[in-house]
Structure 1
Amino acid sequence: MFAPAWVKDAIFYQIFPDRFCRSERYHAVGKFVEWGSKPTRENMFGGNLAGIEDKLEYIAGLGVNAIYLCPIFKSNSNHRYHTVDYFEIDPVLGTLEDFDRLVKKAHKLKIRVILDGVFNHCSRGFFQFNSLMELGPNSPYVDWFHVKGWPLNAYSGKPNYECWWNFPALPKFNTDCPDVREYLFSVGEYWMKRGIDGWRLDVPNEIDDDSFWQEFRRRVKAVNPDAYIVGEIWDDPLRWLKGDLFDGVMNYVFRKAVMQFLFDENPIDVAEFCERVRGAFVEGRGDIPMNLLGSHDTTRLGSQPRTSIERIKLAYALLFFMPGAPCIYYGEELSMKGGKDPDNRRSVPWENLGEMQKKPMYEFIRQMVDMRKKNSVLRDGSLDIRCEDNRLVVERRGKGVSMTLTVDVETFAGDLPFTIETKKI
């Protein structure tokens, strides 16, 4: 196995920092919307690193032992995928000291921390791109980007430089430039040396260059051989999982199968679901995927077309039965709702925490976490998923034991009861 061994035992919790928690221990300069406001693409709530630190005991109380933070570097967007400086913490979030304290406390609680690396593109406010806007072709950084004409149309008209999805705010790096490569590799090294446990890589397929990711992997692993490198790949991940690029991918193939099986208005049948899931997991390949049901890019489970508490519970039961590392999107345990971006990025209503913890999902997710931790077969066992007498059967088999999740397919018109059985073999 080329992926770090600890990941198979990991249970991740994804945090969108601006909306998770705003601690009064840190006061950012500026004006922020009231906590609980309706999220938009532009408004800032002022969540901060001190707030995340304050809630680490809450996260640990779920049984979670790893967190994945959406970008935390200096940026002028609430999601921070518009990076201005990769070596600075966004001042809305806090300071380097706040970051160091957060990582130290997380590790004390045996919680690992991975960061979001946005290395395909940056912000118009990124120093080197700003130099191009000021100096034009005379900028010393003219080779850092893909420029097609001068002056740059960065704020009006059609952008005359390559950018992510043609958004002028997101100029694309020229990763063929040695200086760009060295800069981005040094970012990967710097934060590893500050104590993080790995990287989640944003749209890595858009840097269509294996040598770039091979060198990124070499540099990161040289700092910490146990670093987890996971790529945001939405389709067939095989290219990225040969041992020289990523340790795993965000398993959107699995997520899509679950969504189309349980929540779509025109669902796939159980046979196709089994086939899709088999394709999402290849035994013996050496990778460890990050399995998910939701993220900052997807509609929450509670706002899906055919949602119900029974379907959500079944989705989570399937998640925790799969090989790899399950990942919980913040607030799912509190039955938070949210449609398409940006509605899926609401702030956590901590003032109503007690009431929300009484809802069924909070205790259910804790039970699923506990079940996975207590049963090594769910982390190490083989996977068999099949349709058997109008039942969906998911079986994990290990040394002397098997665990089986069984769903009565005939009841799909209403509730979705399932059973979990453990037996010696």
Structure 2
Amino acid sequence: MNKQAIIHRPTDQHAYVCADNSVNIMIQTQKGDCKGIHFIHGDPYDWEEKKWKNKKIAMRKTGTDQLYDYWQVTIKPASHRLRYGFKLNDGENPLYFGEGGFSAQEPNDIAFYFCIPYVHVSDAFQAPAWVKNTVWYQIFPERFANGNTKNDPKDTLAWGSSEPTADNFFGGDLQGVIEQISYLKELGITGLYFTPIFKAYSNHKYDTIDYLEIDPQFGDKETLKQLIKVCHDNGIKVMLDAVFNHSGFYFPLFQDVVEKGEKSKYKDWFHIHDFPLIFEPKPNYDTFAFTPFMPKLNTQNEEVRNYLLNVGRYWVEEFDIDGWRLDVANEVDHGFWRDFHKVVKGIKPDLYILGEIWHDAMPWLRGDQFDAVMNYPFTRNILDLFAKESIDRKTFAENMTAVIHMYPASIHTNAFNLVGSHDTPRILHECSGDKRKVQQIFTFLLTFIGTPCIYYGDEIGIDGDGDPGCRKCMIWDEEQQDRHMLEHVRKLITLRKNHPLLANEGNLSFLPVEMNSHCFAFMKEKQDKTIIVIFNLSDQEEQFTLPAHQNRQMPIDLWTGNKVKDKKIPLEARGFSILEF
């Protein structure tokens, strides 16, 4: 057995407390190296005749990626204390593994074993319960709907009359969203994520001028209050976008530094290398990327911290928002985010805190900072398989298994899953215009674990390259909408709501890939119910053979409502099937 590939530490995704006082344990072994693992556990103070009393329970293999097998077990220690280790079986000689290393014989010294001194339920990661049942819709306010032409910026263009650019305006506002709530409700949306609505110079508003004011082109605070009330009355949560990593160039305090230089009392609000300030070709102060128009805020400065914490507090207290999405969250110090968590959760405990992090985000997901991050590893794998066809089915399943095992299971139900945003090309563009691929991607997104998000207009077939092409005006003329795509998405959302196994219930696993096929499937199981979601990646009709333990049952195809009478499931080209057993 390859000892170097055996990985476990009593922390993070490998060992964590759950809200019901249980403990989830995971261990990784080299792929195919281990036939089974028994979990050895007991109270460190429970001895009999000078021998430590412990129990052994078989662990469940929960997935395989390109390098590792993953094994898990969940137990509820009777005494809240836990010493534990592993008995690994390769079919020949057992191997014992604990904090003390490896042993060919079962150690009796509890110092050999891993330790959880006491199970405190207060240490459990607990995201808001409502999030796992939410289907989000991302709105770029300037391009969604123009409900009040009186607040249009100067030189506003007629709606949709031109391609989007980095600096043109079409007049989208909050009133426009209010007027389209019925559209969103009929689609099945239960959460709105708005890109920034605070006063800023640009059309995207990520260059904040005033964190405590609505941008006049979007309306005023009364309009926002009305919007939030209408949303709440219709069962829709509201999440705003905050940019605490950097301000805008025209943020008054940065302008004070521009004007007064080293004499400005706000110079320490930013990361300035030296004076005088230099803007081109490269600024001599830290920024978002290297743009001089977004100076980085110094969150180590107490005045800055207090100012931004007050911003977080204000919009929760005064407007009863349901979530904060935090821009460039990985470049802000952890101490600030811990303070932010305390402040906003102290006001509204079930507030959703979502960080924009594009990579492994475990350091932010330990329960004291964020509830979730934008799940871009999920996005990349989806696009690579369905849209770009740059990976095969086996690699996809292995990659997704690795993503699933990056974090504790309690985090996955709140993971913000997306396939497009204001930062990425439109999903239809990624699929080179193939709407069958888009439908498959939406099917995967809306039947997988996590909390899915639809980027405005993707559901009606809006196309567009990356920024600014992905920021086109929403199309409201039904004759110009892809109504077939809209109905496809609406039906998937309805199925997700009516069948908990299509959302965040049950245990998920990928079925073995058949080499002579272009199909793949994943399965969700809970007690006496199973759902299998199958995809055909070929441009030809294919058949998928049900697993042996399932093919004696007669499932129902939830998409068509028909009973399936054969163990071979026909799938049209680029088609899918959702079977319930």
Q: Do Structure 1 and Structure 2 share a fold, with TM-score over 0.5?
A: yes
Contact 1:28–1:94, Cα closer than 8 Å, also in 2: no
| C-alpha deviation, 1:412, in angstroms | 7.1
Which of residues 385, 395, 407 is equivalent to 1:272? 395
Residue ranges of structure 2 left out of the alignment (5+ in a row): 1-124, 542-571
Aligned to 1:286, the other structure's residue is in SS state: helix
Contact 1:44–1:78, Cα closer than 8 Å, also in 2: yes
Which of residues 106, 109, 117 is equivalent to 2:234? 109
Matching residue of 1:182 = 306
Q: Which has the larger radius of gyration?
A: 2
| C-alpha deviation, 1:65, in angstroms | 0.5
Higher share of residues assigned strand: 2
| C-alpha deviation, 1:385, in angstroms | 1.7
Which of residues 2, 13, 34 is equivalent to 2:158? 34
Contact 1:15–1:67, Cα closer than 8 Å, also in 2: yes
Contact 2:457–2:475, Cα closer than 8 Å, also in 1: no
Aligned to 1:171, the other structure's residue is in SS state: coil
Matching residue of 1:422 = 580
Amino acid of the residue matched to residue 122 of structure 1?
Answer: S
Contact 1:192–1:224, Cα closer than 8 Å, also in 2: yes
Matching residue of 1:124 = 249
**CA 1:258–1:406: 2 relative to 1, 3 Å:** same
| In the alignment, structure 1 residue 203 sits paired with structure 2 residue 328 | yes
Which of residues 528, 536, 541 is equivalent to 1:400? 528
Counterpart-to-counterpart distance in 2, 1:412 and 1:118? 47
Amino acid of the residue matched to residue 213 of structure 1?
Answer: W
| In the alignment, structure 1 residue 300 sits paired with structure 2 residue 434 | no
**CA 1:157–1:252: 2 relative to 1, 3 Å:** closer
Counterpart-to-counterpart distance in 2, 1:373 and 1:95? 34
| C-alpha deviation, 1:293, in angstroms | 0.7
Contact 1:23–1:50, Cα closer than 8 Å, also in 2: yes
Amino acid of the residue matched to residue 426 of structure 2?
Answer: R
> Residue deviations 1:367-387, cap 9 Å, x none?
000000001122222211233
Counterpart-to-counterpart distance in 2, 1:349 and 1:142? 45
Amino acid of the residue matched to residue 495 of structure 2?
Answer: M
Contact 1:26–1:50, Cα closer than 8 Å, also in 2: no
> Residue deviations 1:276-313, cap 9 Å, x none?
11222247532210111100011112112544121111
Contact 2:461–2:481, Cα closer than 8 Å, also in 1: yes
Counterpart-to-counterpart distance in 2, 1:394 and 1:20? 35
Contact 2:270–2:298, Cα closer than 8 Å, also in 1: yes
Contact 2:165–2:469, Cα closer than 8 Å, also in 1: yes
Contact 1:26–1:48, Cα closer than 8 Å, also in 2: no
> Residue deviations 1:235-257, cap 9 Å, x none?
11222222121111111111100
Amino acid of the residue matched to residue 420 of structure 2?
Answer: G
Aligned to 1:345, the other structure's residue is in SS state: coil
Total equivalences in the alignment: 418
Contact 1:204–1:232, Cα closer than 8 Å, also in 2: yes
| C-alpha deviation, 1:157, in angstroms | 4.3
Contact 1:120–1:203, Cα closer than 8 Å, also in 2: yes
Higher share of residues assigned helix: 1
Which of residues 481, 492, 499 is equivalent to 1:356? 481
Aligned to 1:165, the other structure's residue is in SS state: coil
**CA 1:395–1:145: 2 relative to 1, 3 Å:** same
Matching residue of 1:149 = 274
| In the alignment, structure 1 residue 9 sits paired with structure 2 residue 167 | no
Counterpart-to-counterpart distance in 2, 1:408 and 1:52? 37
Q: Which has the higher contact order (CA 8 A, sep 6+)?
A: 1
Counterpart-to-counterpart distance in 1, 2:322 and 2:206? 20
Counterpart-to-counterpart distance in 1, 2:392 and 2:445? 18
Contact 2:261–2:276, Cα closer than 8 Å, also in 1: yes
Aligned to 1:380, the other structure's residue is in SS state: coil
Contact 1:274–1:387, Cα closer than 8 Å, also in 2: no
Matching residue of 1:169 = 293
Counterpart-to-counterpart distance in 2, 1:103 and 1:398? 36
Counterpart-to-counterpart distance in 2, 1:305 and 1:421? 26
Counterpart-to-counterpart distance in 2, 1:41 and 1:6? 36
Which of residues 166, 172, 177 is equivalent to 1:47? 172
Matching residue of 1:233 = 357
> Residue deviations 1:120-146, cap 9 Å, x none?
001111111011011111111111001
Which of residues 337, 341, 345 is equivalent to 1:221? 345
Contact 1:311–1:415, Cα closer than 8 Å, also in 2: no
Aligned to 1:121, the other structure's residue is in SS state: coil
Aligned to 1:229, the other structure's residue is in SS state: strand
Deviates more, 1:361-370 or 1:295-304: 295-304
Counterpart-to-counterpart distance in 2, 1:27 and 1:301? 31
- TM-score, with length taken from structure 1: 0.95
Counterpart-to-counterpart distance in 2, 1:113 and 1:90? 17
> Residue deviations 1:142-164, cap 9 Å, x none?
1100111222224x443111111
Counterpart-to-counterpart distance in 2, 1:329 and 1:158? 33
Matching residue of 2:61 = none
Contact 1:243–1:286, Cα closer than 8 Å, also in 2: no
**CA 1:412–1:73: 2 relative to 1, 3 Å:** farther
Contact 2:537–2:573, Cα closer than 8 Å, also in 1: no
> RMSD across aligned C-alpha pairs, in angstroms?
1.7
| C-alpha deviation, 1:327, in angstroms | 0.3
| C-alpha deviation, 1:103, in angstroms | 0.5
| In the alignment, structure 1 residue 244 sits paired with structure 2 residue 372 | no
